[in-house]
Structure 1
Amino acid sequence: MELSYPSAPASRSSDGDSNSRMLPPRQLDWVSDGSVDLHGRPVRRALTGCWRAALFIIGGEFSERLSYYGIASNLITYMTTVLHESLASAAKNANNWSGVTLVVPLVGAFFADAYFGKYWTIATVSGVYVIGLLLLTLSVSVSSLKPPPCATDGICPRASRGQLGFFFFSLYLISVGTGGVKPCLEAFGADQFEEENREERRMKASFFNWWYFGLCMGAMVAFTFLVYIQDNVSWGLGFGIPAIAMAFALATFMVGTKYYRHKVPAGSPLTRVAKVVVAAFCKRRMTLPHSPDLLYEVIDKESIRVGRRKLSHTDNLRFLDKAAIIEDGDFSSNQCSWNLCTVTQVEEVKLIVCILPVWLAMLTYGVVFAQTSTIFTKQGSTMDRKMGSNFEIPAASLQSITTIVIVTLLPIYDRAFVPIVSRLTGHRRGITMLQRIGFGLFLSILSMIAAAITERKRIDAARDHGLLDSPTSIIPLSIFWLLPQYILSGISDVFAIVGQQEFFYDQVPDTTRSFGMALYLCAIGVGSFLSSLLITIIETITGAGSRSWFTSNINRGHLDYFYWLLAVLSTMNLIMYSMISHAYDYKAVEKRNDHDAEKPV
């Protein structure tokens, strides 16, 4: 698609200010990064994008996360109390569903970036999301679709295959919906800010903080209001409200259509990677020129047309540079695109290769992250949850502590921490993205240590009151003893989760931003799978009976050992991450008017 900007500036700097002062106001009105409207026409800066568009997207995310966490936060409770599954089975099923829900976005992101665009992917798959929520509401509401309650003698009938099949079909249909919505919505929101404009680039850095703020507000409503309804009113209403909220999210997203900026789909990223690898292999015997300036690159206009900024040459993975060596016949060949690649195309492949070690280091954090909505909740269900004489806190509602910490700290981080620290460090973000993630990983270790200490105290309290063999009895120990682990988890998320969102959006190629968001989600999802695998391995080693760390009688189990194990694994992972981040080079983007690289900090 050839874009024509009626009054676009002839040249401007990537900061969008020094040269822009010399241009007439009308020339500054056109967004110059390749963004278009829904019909493929160039867009005006004054009428589209920025916060006027991002607020609709954040509002949609608020409702979508309310829907998701309205299901996920109390899922293990439903599985153990209504479907009558064991703790280990319920934890593994919840982790597997969470894992699939966070891995499927790789597929949704691929098709959004390559073919359909983020807008149409979000609009279409949201309908699937709503259908899955409606079917799940039926599953928990209709008596024939769930097992009968436990008998007075304590015998609890298991759910039939048909009942489980309908329940999990509905649940995994929600995963498909999330796969298209979650990675695209955040990337689409960040796309509303032009990276080449200094003011909009500053707003984009704040966007990720406020995006997560909106996400957590939706989660907090789910952890408090919805969980209370599920525990004290009915599961049908508690799961029906998320369906309504998701429909509202879709409506909110559509209302903002006229304000959105769109990136043109750039084709399959797998094909682009393959072209670089094939070209480099075919020219493997050639000698690289003494100067990278002799490698092939296109003019700015062609790169901007597809929304791709030119990247500066780097010295890592130099064997791939051979794909950009110009030889006789390259431009006359019908297969030119497979014989010759630009420096930017080569550097994009390098980016993908270089972020993979960082992604691998996020997997252990994903395992820790999975405990908040599963094992933490099961701990709380055995503790004294009374507030006053008439109100009892739902166990899953304590997850709201994490979100309260996040929504409290994020504005402070954005408005106070970043300006103060940036003056000391010189970085516009205060600290680098990798430093932010690293500090979050450190805090996650502390949260596991706090969880292990609290679990030991809970078991000691059960022993002191003769309740070790009474798993259904409430231990006279306040649920608020769990606060430290939830608070540390919340602070950890402010650094690690938001840092990952920034990193994987910013460091992937410009044309695969949805894929970058999917990578971050996938790390958390694979972490959930690894949590299930770890539980299975521990059960195999310790035995499935009373000696198991995850015995059905949680008072006789050893969740404290599990938390200590996660703390040790997380410490080892942090050491590995420190080495990876120290060696990492950030993406270097060429400025429009010169060849000075702009390196994000």
Structure 2
Amino acid sequence: MKFLYWAEWVEFWKKTAKPESRKDEQLVGDSKGCVDLRGRPVLRAKTGGWKASVFIIGVEFSERLTYYAIASNLIIYLTTILHEGVATSAKNVNYWTGATTVLPLIGGFMADAYCGRYWMILVSSIIYILGLILLTLSVSLSALRPSSDDQCHINGKCSKATTAQIGVFFFALYLISLGTSGHKPSLQAFGADQFDEEDKTEKLMKNSFFNWWYFGLCGGTLLAVTVVSYIEDNISWGLGFGITTVAMVVAIVVFLYGTPLYRYRLPTGSPITHIAQVFVAAGRNRNLSTPADINLLYEKQDGDSIKSGQRLLSHTDTLQFLDKAAIMVQISSEHKTHHKNGWIKPNPWKVCTVTQVEETKLILRMVPIWLSCLIFGITVAQGTTFFIKQGTTMDRSMGPHFQIPPSSLLAFSTIAALVFIAIYDRLIVPLSKKLTGNDRGITVLQRIGIGMFLSVLCMVSAALVEKKRTHVASTHGLLDTPKTVIPLSVFWLIPQFALLGVADVFTLVGLQEFFYDQVPDSMRSLGISFYLSAMGVGSFLSSLLITMVDRVSKRGEHSGWIVNNLNKSHLDYFYWLLAILSTLNLCCYVYIAHIYTYKKVKQIISSEMDTL
């Protein structure tokens, strides 16, 4: 695309300040909830679409470069620099990953309800950068990290990190988590907002957006786990984290540069209040009978909801007890509230619209889908913990003078995802469209289920390879020398990493699309947060599972499945356990997906708006 130079950027602002110049051009705003940064309707031809989303995908590239430069190598830093045990380090990585992906529930809520996605991205990016600066200092300044101790490699006596050093390091990590909490859900939802769902051409673009968003994400990840991780492991941790700090600063500059091209959606107030109103109204009307004719249920389109980007929803037969909230009661003066334009509408705490009831149903129907994703989150967590730690014990040589950095093993997963996402979008989707007639090729829930199945195969592969690794260690008498490289190529790990990458293309991208599309229109940042939180809670559950397995497997004279000496561990048992749990979870998911009712948007909104 042609980028705007500074003079053109300023000129664009001048032109958009003149509403009369737009009379003969197609607007997006009055009926779609799209405005410019100043709150005015926007021109379809000059805003949104790929010309706007490419800036946002570029920011995601830099953010994922930053995040995975930390996440992929964190267990290495904790075990080799801070000298934590393997199990403790894995749990700390999972805690941080979990916090980073659960906190977006707060950031997404704030963006949707009060401050808007654009401003949330900017504010959270500043917090993100402050965390990166502090993290860079904590690994660079000698006063903030354990001193380099050559004796550590000779007699195993390593300098322990002080409480202050550990405190500064983890404070910086969780400050980054706080920045991510607003940045991640708002950025992806903001990118999807650039496409109009009621325009056929832009709707097809939007279906591809989530695929190419993930492509950009994988591009940043690949650079992080190869180039940056090599710098961290072989040159300087401070230089590696410094590069990520600069990358985030550049990302914000790029994001600001695209400001005139964006479409914005105004915040709509607390969605929690809207949901609470439905439960309160349904409780008050619990003794009333729901009319047989659903058209007798209350639905008032006042124009304000449409201008804020919401659409009317059709009635569904699920969760029928909530329909009582929309029963038309005798509207007395106590049930009425005065609208700002002078007319009267029912008190929403006593009578709710069908759309408001259906939005509440949407949230409740998504809960089982969310719960069924937690086991998948546990399997994903292994990619940045035990998978990498396995690789540190194996032969990582590529020629006589180069060794693959442990965190670069994630490149196998990322490359598989990059290749497959292009194949999926350009080959599989068009072919499956012809067979199914679905614009996406297959439904979103089918896509998620395929990824879950692949995650089972991933765990099976991991278990078999781990059994092979420990067998080779035993054959060569290396069980008691964990720092000696096992004569087994690290490329044996490629299948499990590749399967994890392809599973992500199906399940993670599918979850992003599902939660963005199926939540109420006013909650789309929060919808992305739901997907992230599933992965975050999965990380917490992974830590909990490690703790439980560690305690149970150490009973009696057994040393346990997970010990600091991986050669004497039984990670293969742990992987088999995850394979069994994933299989049982997949069976539950198939049933839940089968009975799920998708969002039903009324198709008459545009014509109704013409009469307002």
Q: 1:29 Cα deviation (Å)? A: 3.7
Which residue number in structure 2 is paired with residue 270 of structure 1?
A: 272
Work out the CA distance in 2 between the residues paired with 1:25 and 1:503. Answer: 37
Which residue number in structure 1 is paired with residue 387 of structure 2?
A: 376
| Preserved CA contact (<8 Å) 1:434 1:499 | yes
| Preserved CA contact (<8 Å) 1:312 1:344 | yes
Q: Does 1:191 align with 2:193?
A: yes
Which residue number in structure 2 is paired with residue 313 of structure 1?
A: 315
- SS of 2:24 mapped into structure 1: helix
| Preserved CA contact (<8 Å) 2:49 2:202 | yes
Q: 1:157 Cα deviation (Å)? A: 2.6
Q: Which moved more, 1:290-299 or 1:583-592?
A: 290-299
Which residue number in structure 1 is paired with residue 11 of structure 2?
A: none
- For residue 511 of structure 1, the aligned residue among 498, 508, 522 is 522
Post-superposition Cα deviations, 1:96-128, rounded to whole Å, max 9, x if no partner, equal 000000000000000000000000000011000
Which residue number in structure 1 is paired with residue 600 of structure 2?
A: 588
Unaligned runs of 5+ in 1: 8-23, 597-601
Which residue number in structure 1 is paired with residue 249 of structure 2?
A: 247
Q: Does 1:165 align with 2:167?
A: yes
Q: 1:287 Cα deviation (Å)? A: 1.0
Gap change, CA 1:330 and 1:560, over 3 Å in 2 = farther
| Preserved CA contact (<8 Å) 2:294 2:315 | yes
| Preserved CA contact (<8 Å) 2:325 2:351 | yes
| Preserved CA contact (<8 Å) 2:28 2:35 | no
Which residue number in structure 2 is paired with residue 440 of structure 1?
A: 451
Gap change, CA 1:595 and 1:44, over 3 Å in 2 = closer
Q: Does 1:557 align with 2:556?
A: no
| Preserved CA contact (<8 Å) 1:300 1:310 | no
- 5 Å-filtered alignment, 1:311-350, equals 311-329=313-331, 333-334=335-336, 336-350=347-361
| Preserved CA contact (<8 Å) 2:297 2:354 | yes
Q: 1:6 Cα deviation (Å)? A: 8.1
Which residue number in structure 1 is paired with residue 344 of structure 2?
A: none
Work out the CA distance in 2 between the residues paired with 1:342 and 1:549. Answer: 55
Q: Does 1:357 align with 2:368?
A: yes
| Preserved CA contact (<8 Å) 2:87 2:563 | yes
Q: 1:546 Cα deviation (Å)? A: 6.7
Gap change, CA 1:515 and 1:331, over 3 Å in 2 = farther
Query: Letter of the aligned partner of 2:445 in structure 1?
Result: L
Q: 1:337 Cα deviation (Å)? A: 1.9
Q: 1:431 Cα deviation (Å)? A: 0.3
Query: Letter of the aligned partner of 1:170 in structure 2?
Result: A
Gap change, CA 1:236 and 1:584, over 3 Å in 2 = same
- SS of 1:308 mapped into structure 2: coil
Gap change, CA 1:594 and 1:512, over 3 Å in 2 = closer
Work out the CA distance in 1 between the residues paired with 2:605 and 2:589. Answer: 36
Which residue number in structure 1 is paired with residue 210 of structure 2?
A: 208
Query: Letter of the aligned partner of 1:232 in structure 2?
Result: N
Question: Identity of aligned pairs, percent?
Answer: 55
Post-superposition Cα deviations, 1:220-272, rounded to whole Å, max 9, x if no partner, equal 00010011001110111111111111111111111111111111101001100
Q: 1:594 Cα deviation (Å)? A: 9.2
| Preserved CA contact (<8 Å) 2:460 2:579 | yes
Q: Does 1:367 align with 2:378?
A: yes
Post-superposition Cα deviations, 1:109-151, rounded to whole Å, max 9, x if no partner, equal 0000000000000001100000101100111111121122342
Work out the CA distance in 2 between the residues paired with 1:173 and 1:303. Answer: 36
Q: Which moved more, 1:389-398 or 1:325-334?
A: 325-334
Which residue number in structure 2 is paired with residue 392 of structure 1?
A: 403
TM-score between the two structures when normalised by the length of structure 2: 0.92
- SS of 2:35 mapped into structure 1: coil
| Preserved CA contact (<8 Å) 1:117 1:264 | yes
- For residue 26 of structure 1, the aligned residue among 24, 31, 44 is 24
Work out the CA distance in 1 between the residues paired with 2:180 and 2:244. Answer: 13
- SS of 2:438 mapped into structure 1: coil
Q: Over aligned residues, Cα RMSD in angstroms?
A: 1.8
TM-score between the two structures when normalised by the length of structure 1: 0.93
Which residue number in structure 2 is paired with residue 14 of structure 1?
A: none
Post-superposition Cα deviations, 1:433-489, rounded to whole Å, max 9, x if no partner, equal 000000000000000000000001000110111100000000000000000001111
- For residue 589 of structure 2, the aligned residue among 573, 577, 584 is 577
Post-superposition Cα deviations, 1:499-550, rounded to whole Å, max 9, x if no partner, equal 0001000000000000000000000000000000001011111229971211
Query: Letter of the aligned partner of 2:74 in structure 1?
Result: L
Work out the CA distance in 1 between the residues paired with 2:105 and 2:238. Answer: 31
Post-superposition Cα deviations, 1:70-119, rounded to whole Å, max 9, x if no partner, equal 10000000000000000000000000000000000000000000000000
Which residue number in structure 2 is paired with residue 10 of structure 1?
A: none
Query: Letter of the aligned partner of 1:33 in structure 2?
Result: K
Q: 1:330 Cα deviation (Å)? A: 5.2
Q: Does 1:451 align with 2:462?
A: yes
- SS of 1:371 mapped into structure 2: helix
Gap change, CA 1:331 and 1:500, over 3 Å in 2 = farther
Work out the CA distance in 1 between the residues paired with 2:362 and 2:416. Answer: 34
Gap change, CA 1:330 and 1:539, over 3 Å in 2 = farther
Work out the CA distance in 1 between the residues paired with 2:605 and 2:116. Answer: 30
Q: Which moved more, 1:556-565 or 1:295-304?
A: 295-304
Q: Does 1:531 align with 2:529?
A: no
| Preserved CA contact (<8 Å) 2:27 2:41 | no
Q: Does 1:136 align with 2:147?
A: no
Which residue number in structure 1 is paired with residue 183 of structure 2?
A: 181
Which residue number in structure 2 is paired with residue 112 of structure 1?
A: 111
Query: Letter of the aligned partner of 1:447 in structure 2?
Result: C
Work out the CA distance in 2 between the residues paired with 1:526 and 1:321. Answer: 32
Gap change, CA 1:423 and 1:186, over 3 Å in 2 = same
Work out the CA distance in 2 between the residues paired with 1:196 and 1:262. Answer: 16
Work out the CA distance in 1 between the residues paired with 2:74 and 2:464. Answer: 26
- SS of 2:551 mapped into structure 1: helix
Gap change, CA 1:393 and 1:546, over 3 Å in 2 = farther
Q: 1:296 Cα deviation (Å)? A: 1.0
| Preserved CA contact (<8 Å) 2:311 2:605 | no
Work out the CA distance in 2 between the residues paired with 1:420 and 1:525. Answer: 34
Query: Letter of the aligned partner of 2:584 in structure 1?
Result: M
Q: Does 1:126 align with 2:125?
A: yes
Work out the CA distance in 2 between the residues paired with 1:222 and 1:594. Answer: 45
Which residue number in structure 2 is paired with residue 424 of structure 1?
A: 435
Query: Letter of the aligned partner of 1:72 in structure 2?
Result: A
Which residue number in structure 1 is paired with residue 144 of structure 2?
A: 145
Work out the CA distance in 2 between the residues paired with 1:41 and 1:330. Answer: 38
- SS of 1:327 mapped into structure 2: coil
Q: 1:27 Cα deviation (Å)? A: 6.0
